[in-house]
Structure 1
Amino acid sequence: MTPVSSHSPHGQSPLRTVQVLGGGNAGSSTHVRSLAAGLVARGVKVTVCAPADAERTYDFTGAGAEHVHVPRSSDPVSVAALRAVCADADLVHAHGLHASFRAALAVGGRRVRTPLVVTWHDRVHAEGARAQLLRVLERRVMKAATVVLGATSELVDRARRTGARDARLGPVALPARPCPPAEPDDPDRRRPKIRAGLGAIGRPLLVAVGSLEWHRGYDVLLDAARVWRRLDPVPLVVVAGEGPLRAELQRRIEDEGLPVVLIGSRDDVTDLLAAADLALLPSRREARSVLAQEALHARVPLVASDVGGIPELVGDAAELFPDGDAEALADAVVRLLAEPGRCEELKDRGVRQAATWPTEDETVAQVLSVYDELTQPTPLL
Structure 2
Amino acid sequence: MADQGRRVALVLGTSAGGVGRHVAMLAGGLVRGGHRVVVAGPPSTERAFGFAALGARFAPVPISDRPRPIEDLRAIRALRALRGAHAVHAHGLRAGALAAIALAGTGTGLVVTLHNAATAGGAVGAVYGLLERIVARRADRILVVSPDLGERMTRLGAGRVEAAVVPAPSLPPSGREPGDVRRELGTGDRMIFLTVARLAQQKGLETLLDVVKALREARGDAGPVPGGVSAEPADGRGPEERAPEAVFLVAGEGPLRGELQGRIDRENLPVRLLGDRADVGDLLGVARALVVPSRWEGQPLTVQEALRAGTAVIATAVGGIPAMVGEAGLLVPYGDIAAMRDAVARVLADDGLAGELAAAAARRGRGLPGEQEALAAVLAVYTGLS
Common fold, TM-score beyond 0.5?
A: yes
Distance 1:46 1:31 in 2: 14
Q: Aligned partners of 1:256, 1:18: CA distance in 2, in Å?
A: 50
Determine whether 1:318 maps to 2:314. Answer: no
Aligned-pair distance for 1:233?
A: 4.0
- Deviation per CA, 1:158-209, whole angstroms, max 9, x where unpaired? 21112211111122111223333x2xxxxxx532222222221111111111
Tell me how far apart the structure 1 counterparts of residues 27 and 201 of structure 2 sit (CA, whole Å). Answer: 32
What residue is the counterpart of 2:123 in the other structure? 129
Kept in 1, the 8 Å contact 2:246–2:348? The answer is: no
Q: 2:255 aligns with which of 244, 258, 283?
A: 244
- Supply the RMSD in Å over aligned alpha carbons: 1.6
1:72/1:287 Cα in 2 relative to 1: closer, same or farther (>3 Å)?
same
2:114 is the alignment partner of 1:120: yes
1:39-54 matched pairs, under 5 angstroms:
39-54=30-45
Structure 1 stretches (4+) deviating beyond 6 angstroms? Answer: none
| Alignment deviations for residues 319-341 of structure 1 (CA, whole Å, 9 cap, x no partner) | 11221111211211111122112
Partner residue, 2:103:
107
Aligned residue for 1:135, secondary structure, equals helix
1:152 aligns with 2:146: yes
* Superposition TM-score, scaled by structure 1 size: 0.89
Partner of 1:224: 211
Paired amino acid for 1:79: I
Who is 2:362 aligned against? 351
* TM-score for both structures, normalised by structure 2: 0.88
Which residue does the alignment assign to 1:253?
264
Change in Cα spacing, 1:341 to 1:233, as seen in structure 2 (3 Å) is: closer
- The answer for the alignment partner of 1:186 in structure 2 is none
Measure, in 1, the Cα distance between the counterparts of 2:207 and 2:50: 36
Is the Cα contact below 8 Å between 2:172 and 2:281 reproduced in 1?
A: no
Q: Counterpart amino acid of 1:292?
A: V
Q: Percent identity?
A: 40
Give, in angstroms, the shift of residue 146 of structure 1: 0.3
Listed one character per residue, the Cα deviations across residues 251-293 of structure 1 (whole Å, up to 9, x for unaligned) are 2111111111111122221221112122110111111111111
Q: Which residue does the alignment assign to 1:10?
A: none
SS at match of 2:193: strand
Preserved CA contact (<8 Å) 1:239 1:261: yes
> What is the SS of the residue equivalent to 2:202?
helix
* Structure 1 runs not aligned, ≥5 long: 7-13, 183-188, 376-381
Q: Deviations over 1:73-117 (max 9, x none)?
A: 543333212212x0331211100011111211221133xx10000
1:341, 1:314 → 2: CA distance? 19
Q: How do 1:6-155 residues align onto structure 2 when only pairs under 5 Å count?
A: 6=4, 14-73=5-64, 74-84=71-81, 86-110=82-106, 113-155=107-149
Q: Do the aligned residues in 2 keep the contact of 1:24 with 1:96 (CA within 8 Å)?
A: no
> 1:9-56 CA distances to partner (integer Å, 9 max, x unpaired)?
xxxxx1111100111351111111111111112211110011121111
Separation in structure 2 between the aligned mates of residue 288 and residue 360 of structure 1, nearest angstrom: 14
Distance 1:336 1:167 in 2: 38
Contact 2:13 2:92 in 1 (8 A): yes
Q: CA deviation at 1:5?
A: 2.3
User: Secondary structure of the equivalent of 2:385?
Assistant: helix
Structure 2 counterpart SS, 1:165: coil
- Between stretches 65-74 and 28-37, larger displacement belongs to 65-74
Q: Confirm or deny: 8 A CA contact 1:139 1:162 kept in the other structure.
A: yes
